[in-house]
Chain A
């Protein structure tokens, strides 16, 4: 066991922080108040990711054959932590580089690779993820959006929901039921659908999380070329499983939570409250949650470095990260008091984002089910 950072990775973190200090505008806190899905932040991400790409960092963890630098998962984790901690200036593009690109490398045709990978690694393209449906949330295999084959196109009809980033997205990583007779996770295909096709309609779902956070995507007789299908027909579930295994721990929520927590403590000090032993205990409890989440996430990265298959460590890390994020979000409100009522306040902005922890990217209850089954080997329920 060894818990020290490789000196080169540690130096990289410093370099990255200097880069962020240079590249993030002075009004970044205001710009990012609505979270990574807002129009302002998505537009910003196109310029920002292009700069990140110029520095050679956007897709550094990709294989050299696809324009990457074969950087280790640790190096990529440093990037993920620093980005998420600073309000995710990559916007939605973290998805591109984390799992959409790798899924295309694994399953894509030569034409798909040639079309998508250079644009993703240049940081100039936005994607959204067309998974959830009104009746397929945590139970993703219940999805119903149909894709009927008509010569060399699929005619797609259905509805996606809770979609983030689709207001500005160029492409959608879309899950459809290509075999109408199929049930559950068989008969599903993945389409790399251009968002500007006729019949794609995006409507915002106003929410308390932030502007432009959630959308519905209505798909009415959208004619998607068969050439846009990623991987074998009807076998998209395998593609998704592969793609999400690549994602593993997801956003480094603990890194943001730890940074926000330090700021909360500074606010408490400035207001003469840091001597309050009750508050000290609450702050420390949150700090310990962040640290536990960090190490559980590192355990997942370590497994990945060693080429181990995805394991229940991912679920443990996600539950811990969620808890840390939520506890810190609430503390932000409490410590800032009524100032937090202001929409643009630091506390409110962080609280809003923390609200989605535990629901986004798979409900905590599903993670707990998986821990019970795979880690504790408890018997299946009815």
Chain B
């Protein structure tokens, strides 16, 4: 057992932080989000520094990839790193042409990062398939949840090349870990940003952050975020066992809802505006909660994995 970053892990994160300081952050995220854009410059910088291969690297693996995915989300980076750099390589055993978007074969709704994706990785029951995406396959859908989203043609959603028996299950587990890592990064940033605001915002003659009624709610969010952190790290480090992955996603997506609610409530009206940075994380948190059938589906999956609860009537 060891709950601290190794020197190598710290070096990985220092490197990614340096890139994110140049090519990410709330201002850039808001600008990209307004036009449904993808951050090609950030993608290129991460690629040049070798982060695209980190999940299958020499001396690095899933945990390091999850740590990077968390960092990217914390900086509101406009790239699909969690899908391209964490999920796809660990399911396929090799990097797929990025950016990668993740989809479920029978889900007709808009898909995160689809407008920019070169590859669609699809869960179709027990197998995962992938397919190259062409320009005609995706229809951009206006959205203000902070990600470029698009509807993918039914024919393209089936995928082309199967990754073999059991790959659907692997995709599900890694997707859950990735959702947890992304939620963790965004929650952490949303809470820290809100805490900073409430330290200086004065009402009733003192900082709002000095009221105990406010402090306790923020402290409860901190517990939920730190709990998410270790569940996500453990699940990633252990290779996404089905139960641990479902547990991490269950807890982190519940925490994401709570952090969204509390940070907005405590920020007041300014929190709804685009001039205040909270939205770049808070809206993404809600988008993450919509994937894979949402928080309830992760919980039911956890009950199935833990106690063999019958997944009756549950298509996921």
User: Chain A interface (Cβ within 8 Å of chain B)?
Assistant: 1-6, 74, 262, 265-266, 269, 274-275, 277, 280-281, 283-285, 287-289, 291-293, 295-296, 298-299, 301-303, 305-306, 316, 319-320, 323, 365, 367-369, 371-372, 375-382
Contact = CB atoms under 8 A, between A and B. Distances in A.
A323 B219 CA distance: 14
Interface stretch (B37-45, B164-172, B203-211, B273-281): B203-211
Contacts, number: 175
A94 to B, nearest CB: 22
Nearest to A258: B306
Interface in B179-215: 191, 195, 198-199, 206-207, 209-212, 214-215
A371 B223 CA distance: 9
Given A1-B6, A3-B1, A302-B2, A371 B251 contact: no
Contact of A378 (B218, B246, B309): B218
Given A372-B215, A372-B219, A284 B230 contact: no
B215 A381 contact: yes
Given A296-B230, A299-B3, A284 B303 contact: yes
Nearest to B314: A277
A378 B220 contact: no
B254 interface: yes
A316 B222 CA distance: 8
Nearest to A376: B195
Nearest to B255: A292
B137 interface: no
Contacts of A2: 1-2, 237
B6 A378 contact: no
A303 B231 CA distance: 18
Interface stretch (B74-82, B284-292, B294-302): B294-302
Nearest to A308: B4
Nearest to A367: B219
B303 A1 contact: no
Contact of A376 (B3, B218, B230): B218
Given A302-B1, A302-B2, A316-B222, 11 more contacts: A274-B307, A280-B309, A283-B309, A288-B247, A288-B299, A289-B251, A292-B251, A316-B227, A378-B214, A382-B206, A382-B210
A74 B1 contact: yes
Contacts of B227: 289, 292-293, 295-296, 316, 320
B5 interface: yes
Contact of B230 (A6, A74, A299): A299
5 contacts: A2-B237, A306-B4, A376-B215, A378-B215, A382-B206
B313 interface: yes
Contact of B250 (A285, A365, A381): A285
Interface size range of chain B in the complex? 35 or more
B47 to A, nearest CB: 25
- Binding site secondary structure of chain A: helix
B302 A298 contact: no
B230 A292 contact: yes
A74 B246 CA distance: 26
Interface of B: 1-6, 9, 63, 191, 195, 198-199, 206-207, 209-212, 214-216, 218-220, 222-224, 226-228, 230-231, 233-234, 237-238, 246-247, 250-251, 254, 296, 298-304, 306-307, 309-310, 312-314
Contacts of A381: 206, 210-212, 215
A292 B218 contact: no
A376 B210 contact: no
B210 A320 contact: no
Contacts of A5: 1
Contacts of B300: 277, 280-281, 284
Contacts of B237: 1-3
A153 B195 CA distance: 52
Contacts of A302: 1-4
Most B CB within 10 A of own CB, among A2, A266, A316, A378: A378
Contact of A285 (B63, B199, B254): B254
B216 to A, nearest CB: 4
Most buried by B among A3, A275, A305, A369: A3
B291 to A, nearest CB: 17
Contacts of A320: 223, 227
Q: Lowest 3 A-B CB distances belong to which pairs?
A: A292-B227, A295-B230, A372-B215
B210 A298 contact: no
Nearest to B213: A381
B306 A284 contact: yes
A298 B3 CA distance: 8
B251 A288 contact: yes
A4 B244 CA distance: 13
Nearest to A322: B223
B250 to A, nearest CB: 5
Contacts of B2: 1-2, 302
A266 B216 CA distance: 35
Given A2-B237, A319-B220, A378-B210, A291 B4 contact: no
Contacts of B304: 280
A369 B214 CA distance: 10
A62 B145 CA distance: 54
B310 A274 contact: yes
Contacts of B313: 277
